[in-house]
Structure 1
């Protein structure tokens, strides 16, 4: 059955911004806007600025460290 109501359109996804400065990404440097921002990101990785939080209750394999069991 056809209706005269307009078909709702989905909003377009906004393009992801450069994770360093927020400008639109450049095709040659995606997801960054420039080679400079890509280098800034690489420098942060090499300086270990990006870290994954861990608890002292687990080791790097995710197994419980002896003596820290709760119970």
Structure 2
């Protein structure tokens, strides 16, 4: 007689859409997502910390004119 008790299903991580590394454009790796390697992750961090990445800000000219009067 065989034991036919159902086994629990293995946990499977959901699949992500394949995205290229934003630094070198190679396929990204799961352990470094969205980067392909720890090197590219460090390059990105360095760019943030050195100020290479910045969010542009446009001054509101109408507000500036109102403040002058």
Task: Please state which band the TM-score falls in when normalised by the shorter chain.
Answer: 0.5 to 0.7
Residue 19 of structure 2 corresponds to residue 16 of structure 1: yes
- TM-score, normalising length from structure 1? 0.60
Unaligned stretches of 5+ in structure 1? 1-13, 59-63
Greater helix fraction, Structure 1 or Structure 2:
2
Detail structure 1 runs of 4+ shifted over 2 Å in the superposition: 64-69
Work out the number of aligned pairs and report it: 51
> Contact 1:26–1:34 (CA<8 Å) still a contact in 2?
yes
Query: Whose Rg is larger?
Result: 2
Unaligned stretches of 5+ in structure 2? 1-16
